[in-house]
Structure 1
Amino acid sequence: MLKQIRPAILLATALIVSPIFLTTPASAETKYRHKEVRTRVVTPNRRVVAPNRRVVTPVRVVTPNRRVVTSNRVTRLSNGDIRLPHGEIVSARRIVRLRNPGYFKLPNGDIILPSQEIVFSRSVVRLRNGDIRLPNGVIVRI
């Protein structure tokens, strides 16, 4: 009788035990972290076509010694966000409009002037009444 039941017992144990050895635990991670590779196409007139189909023209000044200098100006995007010179994009919700017309404050404390230039927070002076004095002497009210 045991010889007749042996295949059924073997099959049942195989069905019960095999998923334990064949599955990976939920906490397992892959050995390598993969980054998404984004491609950019540069056209002959130096316009960069980003993957999201927006055309971006970089602002660059080429000096005679072949050094490329980027501008210290920010770029306003169509949705109100701001692209900083080094490429970081700051959401419009995180930008604070100051009382002086044309002045904005970034989350890290930097001030954007009406000419779209950045004044770094380490070069401004906070006054006792909460106002900010810029390096050129202009007082900006928060």
Structure 2
Amino acid sequence: MKKAEAYNRLVEKGIRPSVQRLAILDYLIKHPTHPNIEDVYKALENKVPTLSRTTVYNTLRMLSEVNAAQMITINEHRVCYDGNIEPHVHFYCKNCGKIIDLFDEQAPRVTETKVIDGNIVQEEQLYYKGICSACAQKMEKKTN
């Protein structure tokens, strides 16, 4: 079922569904862990023998450019990807580095290009930074 979702999304976005592209998008859809390029490559290198890091990089960039996947830029050293293309809030834990989806938080939604103070807004991305609940619990146990 999910493989069909990846295939349909690629076709819908005008992308030829090659074996590599299907595998990469299918991985993103099935693994909502916000993987980076290396994570995707490591997970798929044995399943898709023709896969290279360059192919993963180029495919993830292309998927994000046509809104078939989200590119989440935490900082200049940390870029990861999300197969969920519905607007939603992300939370970045500054302690463990995990990225968590916060579906109950109101996410900004740009349905069409809008202009704010002369700036042309074309897409939205919102994430919070802080300490995740698991890290907060560990810190609390250490102080007690």
Q: Shared topology, TM-score over 0.5?
A: no
Report which structure shows greater RCO (CA 8 Å, sep ≥6).
2
TM-score, length-scaled by structure 1: 0.26
Higher helix fraction (1 or 2) = 2
TM-score (norm 2): 0.26
